[in-house]
Amino acid sequence: MRRVSLTAKEKRREVLAKLEKFGYDLYDQLERGILPDIIMPSRSIDNIYYSPELRQYTLGDKKIRRSASNIRHLRPIAQLVWMAYFVHELTASQKTSTLRDVFYSAQAYDIPFKNQDESDDIITDLETILGCTREDFNVFPEERSAVFGDLTIEYTIPNYEGKRLNLTSHPDGVMIGPALTSAEFIETNADKVIAIEKGGLFTRFIEERVHERFKAILVFLGGQAPRSTRYFIRRLNQELGLPVYVFTDADPWGMHIAMVIISGSANAAHVKELTTPDAKWAGVWASDIVSYKLPSDKLEDIDVKRLHELLRDPRYKGEPWQREINTFMRIQKKCELEAFSRYGLTHIVDKYLPQRLKDLGE
Amino acid sequence: MRRVSLTAKEKRREVLAKLEKFGYDLYDQLERGILPDIIMPSRSIDNIYYSPELRQYTLGDKKIRRSASNIRHLRPIAQLVWMAYFVHELTASQKTSTLRDVFYSAQAYDIPFKNQDESDDIITDLETILGCTREDFNVFPEERSAVFGDLTIEYTIPNYEGKRLNLTSHPDGVMIGPALTSAEFIETNADKVIAIEKGGLFTRFIEERVHERFKAILVFLGGQAPRSTRYFIRRLNQELGLPVYVFTDADPWGMHIAMVIISGSANAAHVKELTTPDAKWAGVWASDIVSYKLPSDKLEDIDVKRLHELLRDPRYKGEPWQREINTFMRIQKKCELEAFSRYGLTHIVDKYLPQRLKDLGE
């Protein structure tokens, strides 16, 4: 395994050190008799721009300064300090939490958050200040997706540390949660990753042995992929050097599932660990509806509106995006992954998949 | 392991035999020069009633008759015959499908379905005629949930037949899909099942070793449980004799997640394999909001409307339902599982869970 990133243990140590440095800086200012300042990149819309080099949204140079000498800043500063304390506890004890859970936990400390939006916002502040994701400090999404394929991992979480599992062990797939996210990758014979929007197709791919026939690690997205799944896909790409192919329904929403894996979202412009810029949207394309004569439905108004939005989105410059958006507009049709079943259940695996991988230079 | 139901292999043989008998009956009529008839229980609303003995909705004595001599019946009969053929192929070849996939597959055979509702309805006819669930003939839900705990299973699907897995192998949980649904239960030290609505809490329970401390198999529901998860919970209850406790948010929707596991839905009145009548809704109750002083939100109009519907629902006669519905109405509040975090992350596991299991006679 190429190791291009920190091990889970090194990463945890680094995150704890960052959190502690954040605390020491505040103490330091207090000891020098200064009311503490916190300076961080602004996340306001006028400071978010798309970076063609990074191939994701990123923050500009604008900074904001929160000062304890400003009475209006006292509340968010107190909340931020508590948040840093709380996630330090989580990370040190290797317990995990969710955004919702953190909101309620604050009440155990008499820290007032008006609502969850407010606590979510403070967590995002902390991500921005520390330059890491909330998953790094053990705040995980509620949603879960899954993976299946020839990859042996080694756990780093308590009670499982050092244990290994090959991800073909369970043919329905294993969930991508905190344990898998923080596991070390030990060994694989796979040479690509295939991510699939839907559960039925994920199972079909396993039944038809796509993992062996195409040497693929299969990821089930479950619609828009949870952040930890995007992080996991990035790791498969960066640490193992595996190309990533994303299969979705042929509609603007499926296209965007692929795009968020590739280039992330504007909401996450302050983090860099959730994108896989080299991942490819492999289908189902609008042009496939035509060339494979797939059963389709008429685009609805809301689909067309969405396509117009995507046309103006900087992430959608270039191909295959422009070509496919224009094809959607021209044919006014959409279709689903399952539509290939009109040619028999295994057509998608036997014919479409190998042809598409070839088209994409596999 | 007590074996009170058929093995997966016996079950598959039985389903194939039922499908074949359905076909032979048609041939038999044709050979006798009769235009074939199909007689099945009516699923119209006036033939669905709640059975206090079965503790689920069931169908009454009314039958409907579809006759090939009636021109209006020819289309649904042809669709039904194709459906029986198609799922026989699926079951015999041990391939799985979804409702959506079956709809598209029909096009490979030039069988016209106007839309998916029509093909779903024909699948339900076939369930009704054969007295089995569509999962029995390998049509699975699109959604996936997960399980974790000390249960060793043995797969019966191709390529995995005879392989065993202990369901503590992956601490994020393993998915409940076709492979797990059809697996044999080999060995367990668990003495109960705890089903949990939400992913974050499912992970918390694993981290806090609820599976060991309370000898529990943990099931993640992911909101309203997919049918195959309900079937799996029923198997844990019936084959292993394990009591089942369901934990949800304290609101009418959470209450109904538990109820559908316990007593099923009116839509599935024609099948008996999706309910666990002895399962218990273990919380979070409306009365817990009061006794534990949990952070709560005001009931919204839609919640109150739903509570009024549930009051009239025959499944909600008796306790704890009536008491809790009335408490919701009186306090006009709801709350989430995560609300216990106001007392610290582990309070729900350290205090609430053991107390509730004791209350319920554990």
Delimit the domains of chain B by residue range: 8-130, 145-359
pLDDT of residue B282: 98
- Phi, psi at residue A333, to the nearest 5°? -135, 155
Q: How far is CA A326 from CA A257, A285, A310, A320, A329, in A?
A: 18, 11, 11, 10, 5
Task: Give A124's pLDDT tier (boundaries 50, 70, 90).
Answer: very high
CB atoms within 10 A of CB A220: 28
* Separation of CA B282 from chain center: 18
CA dist list (Å): B90 to A261, B112, B162: 34, 19, 21
d(CA B309, CA A302) in angstroms, rounded, equals: 33
Alpha-carbon distances, residue A180 vs A189, A191, A212, B171, B180 (angstroms) = 18, 20, 22, 8, 20
Chain-chain contact of A341 with B98 (C-beta, under 8 angstroms): no
A56-59 vs A48-51, strand pairing mode: antiparallel
B111 → chain A, closest CA residue: A342
B92 touches A: beta carbon within 8 Å: no
What's the pLDDT score for residue A5?
65
Contacts of residue B157 in chain A, CB cutoff 8 Å?
171
Please tell me the distance from the alpha carbon of residue A242 to that of residue A303, in angstroms, as a whole number: 33
What part of B 161-180 touches A (C-beta under 8 Å)? 165, 169-180
Please compute the mean of the pLDDT values over residues A116-131 and round it to a whole number: 96
Q: Quick one: CA dihedral B233, B234, B239, B243, positive or negative? A: positive
Closest CA to B158 of B179, B144, B177: B179
Q: What is the mean pLDDT of residues A251-269?
A: 96
In chain A, the residue whose alpha carbon lies closest to the alpha carbon of B168 is A160
Task: Please identify which residue in the block is written with the tokens 């598409």.
Answer: A356
Q: Any chain A CB within 8 A of the CB of B293?
A: no
Per CATH, the number for A145-359 is 3.40.1360.10
Interchain pair A345, B105: CB under 8 A = yes
The answer to whether the Cβ–Cβ distance between B104 and A155 falls below 8 Å is no
- Cα angle vertex A158, ends A156, A160, to 5°? 65
Residue-level length of chain B: 362
Neighbours of B38 (CB within 10 A): 20
Choose among A101, A191, A188: nearest CA to A138.
Answer: A101
DSSP H helices, B109-196, are 116-130, 178-181
* Chain A contact present for B344, CB below 8 A: yes
**Among B138, B341, B348, which would you mutate to test the A interface (most chain A Cβ atoms within 10 Å of its Cβ)?**
B341
**The pLDDT of residue A4 is above 60:** no
Q: Whole-angstrom distance between the N-terminal and C-terminal Cα of chain A?
A: 21
How many beta-carbon contacts under 8 Å exist across A and B?
174
> Chain A closest CA to B223's CA: distance in Å?
11
CA atoms of A281 and B65, how far apart (whole Å): 50
Residues of A in contact with B101 (CB under 8 A): 200, 204, 338, 341, 345
CA distance B86 to chain A (A): 11
Inter-chain residue contact B174 with A176, CB threshold 8 Å: no
Catalytic residue, chosen from B104, B155, B231, B343, is: B104
Which residues in chain B have Cβ-Cβ distances shorter than 8 Å to A204? 95-97, 101
Residue of A nearest to B342 (CA): A108
For residue A3, pLDDT over 80 is answered with no
Contact A199 B177 (CB under 8 A): yes
Report pLDDT for A7: 83
Calculate mean pLDDT across residues A8-14.
90
B112 touching chain A per CB within 8 A: no
Find, among B213, B204, B298, B308, the residue nearest to B250 by Cα.
Answer: B298
Query: Number of helices (H) and strands (E), helices first, in chain B?
Result: 14, 15
Which residues on A lie below 8 Å from B203 (Cβ)? 96, 140, 177-178
Q: What is the pLDDT of residue A361?
A: 87
- CA angle, residues B99, B104, B107, in degrees to nearest 5: 135
User: For the domain with range B8-130, which CATH number is right: 1.20.1410, 1.10.10, 1.10.287, 1.10.3470?
Assistant: 1.10.10
Nearest CA in chain A to B223: A143
Cβ within 8 Å of residue B329, ≥6 positions away: B304, B307
362 residues of chain B, pLDDT tens digit each = 555 567 888 999 999 999 999 999 999 999 999 999 999 999 999 999 999 999 999 999 999 999 999 999 999 999 999 999 999 999 999 999 999 999 999 998 999 899 999 999 999 999 999 999 999 999 999 888 999 999 999 999 999 999 999 999 999 999 999 999 999 999 999 999 999 999 999 999 999 999 999 999 999 999 999 999 999 999 999 999 999 999 999 999 999 999 999 999 989 999 989 999 999 999 999 999 999 999 999 999 999 999 999 999 999 999 999 999 999 999 999 999 999 999 999 999 999 999 999 999 87
* A159 touching chain B per CB within 8 A: yes
Handedness of CA B257, B260, B266, B267 (dihedral sign): positive
Sign of CA dihedral A114, A119, A125, A130: positive
Among candidates B157, B171, B340 on the partner chain, residue whose Cβ is nearest the Cβ of A155: B171
Q: Does A96 touch chain B (CB under 8 A)?
A: yes
3-state secondary structure of B79: helix
pLDDT of residue A362: 76
Contact B342 A104 (CB under 8 A): yes
State in Å, rounded, how far the first CA of chain B is from the last one.
21
Q: Is A39 on the interface with B (CB under 8 A)?
A: no
| Token pair listed for A1 | 């395994």
Q: Does pLDDT of A36 surpass 70? A: yes
A163: Cβ–Cβ under 8 A, 6 or more apart, which residues? A154, A155
Average confidence score pLDDT of chain A: 95
- Is B100's CB within 8 Å of A336's CB? yes
**Candidates B108, B146, B165; nearest CB to A169:** B165
Mark whether A104 is an active-site residue: yes
- One DSSP character per residue, B46-60 reads GGEEEETTTTEEEE-
Answer yes or no: do B207 and A342 touch at CB < 8 A.
Answer: no
Q: Which residues of B, range 296-335, sit inside 8 Å of A by Cβ?
A: none
Report DSSP letters for B4-21, one per residue: -S--HHHHHHHHHHHHHH
Q: Do B174 and A174 touch (CB under 8 A)?
A: yes
Contact residues, B window 240-269, toward A, CB-based 8 Å cutoff: none
Q: What is the pTM of this model?
A: 0.95
Angle at the Cα of A143 from the Cα atoms of A262 and A223, rounded to 5 degrees? 50
> What letter represents residue A143's amino acid?
E
Which ipTM was obtained for this model? 0.94
Nearest to B200 among A101, A155, A341 (CB): A101
Please give the average per-residue pLDDT across A40-47, as a whole number: 95
Report d(CA B161, CA B267) in Å as an integer: 34
Q: How confident is the model at residue A15 (pLDDT cuts 50, 70, 90)?
A: very high
For chain A, the 3-state helix, strand and coil shares in percent, each to the nearest 5, are 50, 15, 35
- Tell me the two tokens of residue B211: 């599976």
CB atoms A178 and B157 under 8 Å? no
Give CA B198 to chain center in angstroms.
Answer: 17
Closest CA to A334 of A295, A301, A305: A295
- DSSP annotation of B267 reads G
Helices (H), chain B: 8-31, 71-93, 99-108, 116-130, 178-181, 199-207, 210-213, 227-240, 252-263, 286-291, 301-311, 321-331, 347, 353-359
Name the nearest CA neighbour of A46 among A61, A67, A31: A61
Q: What is the pLDDT of residue A9?
A: 86
Chain B CA closest to residue A180: B172
At position B341, the amino acid (one-letter code) is S
Of A142, A143, A171, the CB nearest to B155: A171
pLDDT digits (tens, 9 = 90+) for A158-196: 999 999 999 999 999 999 999 999 999 999 999 999 999
Is the bond leading into B349 cis (omega within 30 degrees of zero)?
no
Tell me how far apart the alpha carbons of residues A168 and B119 are, in angstroms, rounded to a whole number.
Answer: 34
Q: Which residues numbered 217-236 in B keep a CB inside 8 Å of some CB on A?
A: 220, 222
Q: Which of A139, A204, A294, A338 to mutate: most B Cβ within 10 Å?
A: A338
